[in-house]
Amino acid sequence: MFRPRVIPCLLLKNMGLVKTIKFKNPRYIGDPMNAVRIFNKKKADELIFLDIMATKENRIPDIEFIRNIGEECMMPFAVGGGIKSMKDIESIFKAGAEKVVINSSAVINPKILKDASSHFGRQSIIFSIDVKKNIFGNYIIYTNSGKKSTGLNPFEFVKIAEEHGAGEIFLNSIDRDGTYKGYDIELIKGISNRLEIPVIASGGASKIDDFKTAWIEGNAFAAAAGSLFVFHGKKKAVLINYPSRDKLAHLFKV
């Protein structure tokens, strides 16, 4: 039986695992390799690693670190941050990642999606898009870890990304990131309904029922979350967690 993938999204800063709220104030929460080992035991569907400093520092995520993840990780994983060239992508794949996540550079020049998908296969190329509302209530694409407004309409630009070869869209709501307010279903549905490729919803999940809402109401093919998988309780104690496969199967049973 088909069920949407449920994906922990792990943010990296200076080789440590961090969590943000609305892309701001990254809080250190521990060793990413320890998180990988726990997600192995929990049998997570996939993992996504995003280096939030890579674009600012004009580099890609540390290759040795990716290699270490590849040796430890028992599920498919994707890596993003600062990717600008075919050489960058090749280096990340050679280190062991199954997918790459391309954000800012693909907004500037979507041709990188076409070149990457033609050479490495469309299924391995994720276009990441960070979106928030402006003061007029319009959705706008932001780059550089949510710091730079492009003025671009996300509903129009995702079609360009799809036409250029993106295999999946990783859709991140900046306004919902780390807030526990639930996914932005209006945004997710608006993007999903314009595309034939899968959309991974991210930003705002507060409970596992939100995954089903993103699927049923938002037409997302997968649901990603950060805070929900690394914090526990009202005081947000750090506790790496993931629902059992039986629990997910029951959740998505329709």
The pair of structure tokens assigned to 248 is 């997910």
Q: In total, how many domains does the chain have? A: 1
Would the pLDDT of 223 be above 60? yes
CB within 8 Å of 35: residues ≥ 6 apart: 8, 10, 17, 230, 240
Could you report the per-residue pLDDT of 98-154, keeping only the tens digit for each? 999 999 999 999 999 999 999 999 999 999 999 999 999 999 999 998 999 999 999
Q: Are 114 and 84 in contact (CB under 8 A)?
A: no
Domain of residue 144, CATH code:
3.20.20.70
Degrees, nearest 5: CA angle 120-126-131: 155
pLDDT band at 254 (very low <50, low <70, confident <90, very high): low
pLDDT tens digit sequence for 163-197: 999 999 999 999 999 999 999 999 999 999 999 99
SS3 206: coil
- 90-117-183 Cα angle (round to 5): 100
Dihedral, 155, 157, 161, 162 alpha carbons, nearest 10: 40
Range 83-99 average pLDDT: 97
* Beta strand pairing call for 47-51 and 168-173: unpaired
Instruction: Evaluate if residue 219 carries a pLDDT over 80.
Output: yes
CA torsion angle 246 37 98 109 (round to 10) = 100
- Whether 235 shows a pLDDT value over 90: the answer reads no
Is the four-CA dihedral 23, 24, 28, 29 of positive or negative sign? negative
Whole-number Å distance between alpha carbons of 157 and 84: 18
What amino acid positions are annotated as catalytic residues?
130
Domain span holding position 167: 5-251
Residues of the chain above pLDDT 90, percent: 95
CB 169 within 8 A of CB 197: yes
Asked whether residue 1 carries a pLDDT value surpassing 60, the answer given is: no
Cα–Cα distance, 101 to 128 (Å, whole number) = 6
